Structure 1
Amino acid sequence: MNSFEYDYFLDQPISQKILIAVRTLGEYKGKEILYKEQFPEVLKTLQQASIIQSTESSNRIEGIIVPENRIRMIVAQKAKPQNRPEEEVAGYKDILNEIHTNFGRHNLSPKLILKWIKDLYKYTPEKVTGFKTEDNAILEILPSGKTVVRFRPLSAQETPSAVSKLCTMYNKNIKDKKIEPLLAVASFVLDFECIHPFKDGNGRIGRLLTLLLLYQVGYEVGRFISLERITEESKEAYYDALYKSSQNWNKGEHDLIPWWDYFLSMLIAAYKEFEERVGYITTAKGAKRELVFAAIDKLPDEFSFSDVQRACPGVSFSTIKRALQELKAKKIIKSTGKGRDAKYRK
């Protein structure tokens, strides 16, 4: 809320870097619309991979580790969660699917946010139904092993009204077109994380809200390229930007620029990858095999079958195997070993 209070965002110095990033994303948005019309089957393949990667990465950022074969089965609804990490993964997957399917039907509100935190934990014995009831803090463990307070969010008492105010302010500014929508989404996410309204799950709910709000302002790249994976791959920059922009947030004297810079660069990285993949896969025929070829291009010179599987979560074992055999026949790669333990060199 502090980024919107008294139009605080209007006082931020907009650099050429930010202006160029916003313009670039507007251009990518136009291309995205064309890709949807021209390559629907290719985008369907990318979406399948994105759901798995998003579910895996967003949970792994929070230290929730589940083997990728189990995530695939849970996402495909071929298996029920068997332990606490899998229960949380299943809850995240359900919300993600809801966003992909019905993003236009959801109005940003405390009611929606509370529903999502409930759904995130619906498969666990611990049922979460409301905002935090005790004050919390964002901690950091130093290399020495000492734990320090990195940021102190709003108190539990202040949280319900703060979340309500944040949603109201965001919706009003979007309706009144008072702020660039991309910067409005970024500012909302920063404020949400600074409020830190739940005992646990704040990061994951924040990333799901990011996806929803981006969809609603017309940027749907997260449907095809996992924003959560890109965030995980740039985790240090993600936390550094959050830290810098959260300083003095409680006083309403924070600097939004570091977080805006990170947020826009993350989206540009997603759109670049999206464009590369669509450009690589020029027809729907053989799309999944082409995904494998594109993934291998980005892997190190030496890689394993499992590395390819992780890079192509929506592609079957047999399709990956055939693609690798084709590259071997063309002498593009060579292998040692067999099956999942095989190693390959370009």
Structure 2
Amino acid sequence: MKCLSNMERLHLPNDLVMQLFRLYEQKGQSYYYKALFSRDDEVMARTTLELDTQALAYYLKLNLTPARIKLLSDPKKDFVAKNKDEILLKNLKEILSRVQQLADTFDLTTNEIKDLTLTMFRGYDDIRLIRDPKAKAERLAKSFEELTPEDKLKKIIELFHQHRRNNKYEMVQIMTNFYIDFVKLGLFSDRNDLIGLMTIYTLAAKYFKVCRYDSFFQALLPLQPQFDSGFIQASYNWSEGFSQTEPIQRILVNVLETLHKNVEIKAHEYEFERKMNKTNSIEGTVLSGPATFSKKDIRAKHPYASDATINRTLMSLKERGLIRPLGSGRTAQWLRVTDKLEKFNPQQLDLFNHAE
């Protein structure tokens, strides 16, 4: 636990401190988002789950086609896995789903990490805490290095909670140092980096509620090269207690800041659409969008509109001679037969209506 036990030596640059101020100012909006999205909370969580699962598949470079990844990521469908990569992705989707449901009640413990590992690699590989015959039980060991892997894990978790309770260090900083210590200690027989990453994600979901409304791993994916490079940099002088943890902390802060910015945009769009008749909104998308479109395109633009509302609107436009179908079935396309509207101003939008 070279990082967690030497945090007093860390100094945050001014620009990172200012970024953290902005992040926690944005974090204060969490209760507003929870109230705003309450009606469609589960829908948004399912969308986030799907995007997180897809991004993880690409992050881990699983040998799966994009079409298969999309299919396996669908929260509403449960498929039989055909190979080891599909088993791993299915297990990860289950973990992400549990985090979405139970992040508020999560408490970092040895048993939680052991259970996380068992769930993640169930049917995939036998990965568990290393059994070191030379290690000693906590009551017999004279130093941290002599402890069993399980006691080492217990110690770094205790130190994590000690820093958290003392309020001396910022939470992302504590999470970063925990992650580096966890991976460098190599307490499990394999995939310590993935176990550590999923633990950090679970902690992020607990302390930063926007992880429910936007994809953490989708924001992390383009930063993967920097994240890997940051870990290599943090590995230098780790055993001496002088690990450079700032690069990984910056990446995690950037990811969380991206999530807050994305959710802020979603909140504006959601509030606008909530005050607007959804049928008119869908009509506007059809009449001002591409000439050829599908129901899937409409769903992407209006994720909170029900299938019934979308179908009813399309039928209405068809009866009025504004669109016509091209084919049939779930993949059917539609063709707009009227001229494209450059601007669409729905009449039912009341700018001065403050009613919920």
TM-score (norm 2): 0.70
Shift of the 155–241 alpha-carbon distance from structure 1 to 2, 3 Å rule, reads same
In structure 2, C-alpha distance between the alignment counterparts of 1:33 and 1:173, rounded to whole Å = 25
- Secondary structure in structure 2 of the residue aligned to 1:14: coil
Q: Structure 1: give runs of 5+ residues left out of the alignment.
A: 135-153, 330-336
Question: Who is 2:51 aligned against?
Answer: 53
Larger Rg: 2
Aligned positions of 1:310-321 closer than 5 A: none
Question: Who is 1:202 aligned against?
Answer: 192
In structure 1, C-alpha distance between the alignment counterparts of 2:191 and 2:252, rounded to whole Å = 20
On the 8 A contact 2:131/2:148 being kept in 1, the answer is: no
Sequence identity percentage: 14
Aligned positions of 1:9-24 closer than 5 A: 9-24=7-22
In structure 2, C-alpha distance between the alignment counterparts of 1:188 and 1:248, rounded to whole Å = 16
In structure 1, C-alpha distance between the alignment counterparts of 2:71 and 2:189, rounded to whole Å = 27
- 1:166 equivalent to 2:156? Answer yes
User: Which amino acid in structure 2 is aligned with residue 98 of structure 1?
Assistant: R
On the 8 A contact 2:227/2:251 being kept in 1, the answer is: yes
User: How far did residue 269 of structure 1 move?
Assistant: 1.1
Question: Who is 1:233 aligned against?
Answer: 222
Q: Deviations over 1:195-236 (max 9, x none)?
A: 3433444343223212322243x3111111111111112211
Aligned positions of 1:246-257 closer than 5 A: 246-257=235-246
In structure 2, C-alpha distance between the alignment counterparts of 1:214 and 1:100, rounded to whole Å = 11
Aligned positions of 1:267-282 closer than 5 A: 267-282=256-271
User: How far did residue 164 of structure 1 move?
Assistant: 1.9
User: How far did residue 243 of structure 1 move?
Assistant: 1.8
On the 8 A contact 2:72/2:78 being kept in 1, the answer is: no
User: Which amino acid in structure 1 is aligned with residue 11 of structure 2?
Assistant: P
Question: Who is 1:181 aligned against?
Answer: 171
User: How far did residue 117 of structure 1 move?
Assistant: 0.8
- Secondary structure in structure 1 of the residue aligned to 2:96: helix
1:28 corresponds to which of 23, 26, 30 = 26
- Secondary structure in structure 2 of the residue aligned to 1:281: helix
On the 8 A contact 1:192/1:206 being kept in 2, the answer is: yes
Question: Who is 2:106 aligned against?
Answer: 106
In structure 1, C-alpha distance between the alignment counterparts of 2:268 and 2:126, rounded to whole Å = 45
- Secondary structure in structure 1 of the residue aligned to 2:239: helix
User: How far did residue 308 of structure 1 move?
Assistant: 6.6
In structure 2, C-alpha distance between the alignment counterparts of 1:58 and 1:232, rounded to whole Å = 8
User: How far did residue 119 of structure 1 move?
Assistant: 0.5
User: How far did residue 110 of structure 1 move?
Assistant: 2.0
On the 8 A contact 1:58/1:204 being kept in 2, the answer is: no
In the comparison of the two structures, how many residue pairs are matched?
Answer: 301
User: How far did residue 158 of structure 1 move?
Assistant: 6.2
User: Which amino acid in structure 2 is aligned with residue 280 of structure 1?
Assistant: E
On the 8 A contact 1:238/1:262 being kept in 2, the answer is: yes
User: Which amino acid in structure 2 is aligned with residue 62 of structure 1?
Assistant: L
In structure 2, C-alpha distance between the alignment counterparts of 1:39 and 1:132, rounded to whole Å = 44
On the 8 A contact 1:42/1:281 being kept in 2, the answer is: no
TM-score (norm 1): 0.72
User: How far did residue 264 of structure 1 move?
Assistant: 0.8
User: How far did residue 174 of structure 1 move?
Assistant: 0.8
Q: Structure 2: give runs of 5+ residues left out of the alignment.
A: 133-143, 319-325, 334-356
Question: Who is 2:72 aligned against?
Answer: 71
Answer 1 or 2: higher relative contact order, Cα 8 Å, separation at least 6.
1
User: How far did residue 169 of structure 1 move?
Assistant: 0.4
Question: Who is 1:81 aligned against?
Answer: 81
On the 8 A contact 1:132/1:156 being kept in 2, the answer is: no
Q: Deviations over 1:22-64 (max 9, x none)?
A: 1111111111211211232344333211101112222331222
Shift of the 76–52 alpha-carbon distance from structure 1 to 2, 3 Å rule, reads same
- 1:118 equivalent to 2:118? Answer yes
Out of 98-107 and 179-188, give the one that drifted further. Answer: 98-107
In structure 2, C-alpha distance between the alignment counterparts of 1:276 and 1:241, rounded to whole Å = 30
User: Which amino acid in structure 2 is aligned with residue 173 of structure 1?
Assistant: H
On the 8 A contact 1:110/1:164 being kept in 2, the answer is: yes
